[in-house]
Every structure is written in C-alpha cells, then in structure tokens.
Amino acid sequence: MSKGKFIVFEGIDGSGKTTQIQLLQARFRAASLPIYVTKEPTDGPIGAVIRNVLNKRIKTSEKAIAGLFLADRLDHIENPINGMLGQLGQEMHVISDRYYLSSYAYHSSHVPLDWVIAANAECAKLLRPDIIFFIDISAEESLERLKKGRAFLDLFENLERLKSVRANYMRAIERVEKEENIIRIDGSQSEATIAAEIWEQVQEIL
Ligand code: ADP
Ligand code: TYD
C-alpha cells in the first residue's frame, strides 16, 4: 500500500518545472514532510540510452524510442533499490519531473496517441499520480526563456516543435482527464504566484 503522495510536473521545455519543483521541495522541507525528488528520463542505465538517442548519438525508430521511455519508466516505478513504489511505501512523498503524460505529448507527434496510452497502461495501473501539475506557457514564451539560457537555437524549428508538443499535451489531457487528476497552471504568472497556487493544491491531498 502506498502511503506517500505522488506528485508529477508536466509541461513543454522551459515551462518552469525545475523551478517549481525546487520551490515545492523547499515547502515540504519547511513543513518537515519527507520528500523524494526524481525525474524522467532517469539517471539509470535506460535513461542513459535515452540521452544518447536525444543527443542523436543513437538512431532508432520512433516506436523504439517510446519503448525506451516506457522501459525507463517501469524501472523508475519498480526498481527494487530506489523505485518510486518503494519510496512511497516508506511514507516518502515523491515529486517527479515528467511521467507518462510526457510520453503522450512527445511521442504522439510520431506514433498514434492511443498506441502510446496503451503502451503505458501498465504504468498507470502500477502507479497513478495523486496529482499532475501541467504548467502551461505558450511556445513563444518558452522560446524566449530558452534563448536566455542557451548559446544557439534553431529558432524556427524549435518554435514549431514547441507549438506541436503543447498542442499534443492539450489533446492528451482532453483524452485522459476523466482518469487523471490534472491541474492546469498558468505558467506565465510570477514564480511566487505559481508556487503558492501549487502549494495550496498539494496541501489538499496531503
Ligand atoms: P523546465 O524545467 O520546465 O525546463 P525551468 O524551471 O528550468 O523550466 O525554467 C526555464 C527558464 O525559465 C529558467 O531560466 C527559469 O529561471 C525561467 N522561469 C521559470 N519560471 C518562470 C516564471 N514563472 N516566470 C519567468 N521565468 C521563469
Ligand atoms: P530533459 O533535458 O531532461 O528535459 P527537461 O529538462 O526539459 O525536462 O530531456 C527530456 C526530454 O525528453 C524532453 O524534451 C521531453 C522528452 N521526453 C519524451 O520524449 N518522452 C517521455 O516519455 C519523457 C518523460 C520525456
């Protein structure tokens, strides 16, 4: 039986997930609540293969890529040493930067959304998030933020890609909103406003 709560952050790149996870972790610490912060792709061996795919050192098919993320996720859930189910069972609350909604959004550009949802059905069965925060910002705003942090960006390609992933998130959320507890957060607000909104929601499920 899981005792801790499982909180997931989702959004396009640059939406503010890392920032808000750090702020939420600080709130947990200040309240003396045990918290384990993790992410996908993981730092495990399957995550390492995925990073080699993302930086184009390894080339494979889109279904195989979705399959690698699925394998990484199953390991993330069930790994006997540091898996999330184990952490939750020890009364730790868990925050993950991305989970299966990322797969729905990122892979459904290349393979059918239904296929991705079906492939991830076991993950939803094993561990469904208590709450998913979808931090929503426009592709344009995301690009502005990413430009500040990086030396080079192919602007057109990235704007188009961000727009398409955001649209895919919307479509995926509409598809699964009956089964999932997804809270949309307006990510264009200040960091402090977003953090306060998130903390209010989290307190309701603790
Ligand atoms: P992600 O983890 O989703 O990629 P980050 O938290 O790394 O996003 O944020 C991306 C960039 O946007 C960082 O430079 C961060 O400082 C900035 N940022 C985060 N939240 C906000 C916000 N609410 N308003 C303006 N800029 C933000
Ligand atoms: P990373 O640099 O860790 O992302 P970020 O800091 O933006 O969260 O790279 C993760 C990338 O992998 C990101 O672009 C989203 C993508 N991704 C998928 O394509 N499928 C998935 O199932 C997950 C979890 C992530």
Find the CATH number of the domain harbouring 130.
3.40.50.300
- Cα separation values, 175 from 105, 113, 124, 168, 202, Å: 11, 9, 14, 11, 24
| 4-52 confidence digits (pLDDT tens) | 999 999 999 999 999 999 999 999 999 999 999 999 999 999 999 999 9
- State in Å: Cα 86 to ligand 1 middle: 30
Range of the domain at 148: 6-205
Flag whether 138 is in a domain. Answer: yes
Flag whether 129 is in a domain. Answer: yes
The ligand with the least distance to the CA atom of 50 is: 2
Is this model's pTM higher than 0.75 or not? Answer: yes
- Cβ neighbors of 179 (< 8 A, separation 6 or more) are 124, 128
Flag whether 174 is in a domain. Answer: yes
* Interior angle at CA 45, CA 18 and CA 165, nearest 5: 45
Flag whether 68 is in a domain. Answer: yes
Q: Whose CA is nearest to atom 6 of ligand 2?
A: 13
Task: Provide the residue count of the chain.
Answer: 206
Would you say the CB of residue 106 lies under 6 angstroms from ligand 2? yes
Q: For the chain, what is the domain count? A: 1
Would you say the CB of residue 19 lies under 6 angstroms from ligand 1? yes
Flag whether 1 is in a domain. Answer: no
User: Is residue 2's pLDDT more than 70?
Assistant: no
| 126-180 confidence digits (pLDDT tens) | 999 999 999 999 999 998 998 887 766 665 558 999 999 999 999 999 999 999 9
